[in-house]
Structure formats: C-alpha cells, structure tokens
Amino acid sequence: MEELGTLKVLMDERVGHEDGSVSARHAHVTDSMWQTLMEQLTEVRNESLAARRALHPRYPLPVLDRLLHERAESR
C-alpha cells in the first residue's frame, strides 16, 4: 500500500493497527479513501493475474486457476 501512496491512517485501519499520535486522532478515513484504495488494489490484483497467466495459463490451485480463467475470458 505504501507503493500506492496510501495514507497512513488508511493503512493503519486496513491492517488493524492503532496509532496513538495526535495526528492520527484527528485523521479520519473517508468513503472516497476506501474507494480509491479498493480501485488501486484491484488494479494491482489484475496486473498480478495477467503476469501469472503470461507464465502459464493454468494453475494447480483451483481458486487461482478459476481467477486466471475468468481473467482470460473477460479480455
């Protein structure tokens, strides 16, 4: 998430950390922050699936194999 430029307050909330600093007490996560993060993480996921599929179109783990297959069909 750091590579995506995610705000610290959002990273802390996402991973369940609690920051007791003054700035953290006054910072709040908004719906638009969550939406942006979800869009960014979805893009990272899609890029990862595309890179994995480029190596080989099938995978022995059923859940990943299904994701690779769905990704191929959606293109």
Question: Which pLDDT score, from 0 to 100, does residue 22 have?
Answer: 53
Question: Which pLDDT score, from 0 to 100, does residue 5 have?
Answer: 92
* Residue 27 CB-density burial (10 A; 0-12 exposed, 13-18 middle, 19+ buried): middle
CB 17 within 8 A of CB 29: no
Residue 6, Ramachandran bin (φ over 0: left; ψ between -120 and 50: alpha; else beta): beta
Determine, yes or no, domain membership for 16. Answer: yes
Determine, yes or no, domain membership for 33. Answer: yes
The 10s digit of each residue's pLDDT in 11-69 is: 888 887 777 675 666 678 899 999 999 999 999 999 998 899 889 888 888 998 898 88
How many domains in the chain? 1
Determine, yes or no, domain membership for 46. Answer: yes
CB 13 within 8 A of CB 29: yes
Expressed as residue numbers, the domain containing 26 is 8-74
Determine, yes or no, domain membership for 55. Answer: yes
Q: Which helix or strand (DSSP H or E) is residue 52 part of?
A: helix 31-55
